[in-house]
Structure 1
């Protein structure tokens, strides 16, 4: 999966999960960190607040820094692709290395749980959530040698050279539904998210704080 697919589908999944928790009553819609320029509503007022059409994304933006979620959704590629396909091109030429492993996800999640316990800050857990989504969307279980590294050995497998890989991706982007449909879906979610920001006049707030 490519950039827009990872970004948009991860964001959309987070919004849907947040909405499902709201609908089930597990979390109130207005729980989280309110805007700094708006007085926080009382518990009685929170229960009476209506749920608007942007309520799920708004409540998600009050709970987490969405920017960190988006970074997490690309983090394995941000690290592994420059290392494996540029720095180690002659020996590996593989864009899925340590950050695409279950071990990396577990370490990141445990660190996130520790930070949350000590500071109540959820940013590292949000980052690990983005990484989890990345591995799932990459269907990394189809390459168990990478997913369960180093159980199958310390060496990562060598893939095709970078030039052939880029040509293959470019061709698949226009011919393979499994490639272009996720990208179009991701673009649609990102457009919807941008409309939500502009409609609520929260673009600057999102850029500076990652929240609504």
Structure 2
């Protein structure tokens, strides 16, 4: 056996090792592709199933929410959360009792605000129709303002922010927050007077006529 024969044998062994390595890598790549394809098929099947099942599940949840809403209106109406607190006036530095003022509890306004927020977000009806029902449940407009404020807090912190996070993480849409900020700018840029809906004034034109 000469030197050339030994060299050829080493080259052959090296080529065999390379071929085996390529084959192993090829198998690993195929397994990875097949695994990814299987995961994609499962994800697609889950999405299609969730889409197909959603109408029935959503209708059931809305019906249950309506039942609980009707039950709560009987068992714990809004007025059950309202109490009376004293109001005072300043009389030369001395606080004098002026009367009593109705005020909902903190828990009351927060829970009713939460209800309003999720009613508006989940209902199939126009938001205005949902809000009008709360005018029937809560007659006092001052109390309504407290509930509306609590509802806005709930929507902002527990509905909109999580949805935006989901849109960015899962949908890759990092422009949504920018569009919302631009919408806020547009809203503040708009001048109500230019919309032809300014308050009417008297003949002098200085004081709004209500």
Please report the TM-score for the alignment, with normalisation by the length of structure 2: 0.25
Higher strand share: 2
Larger radius of gyration: 2
Higher relative contact order (CA 8 A, sep 6+): 1
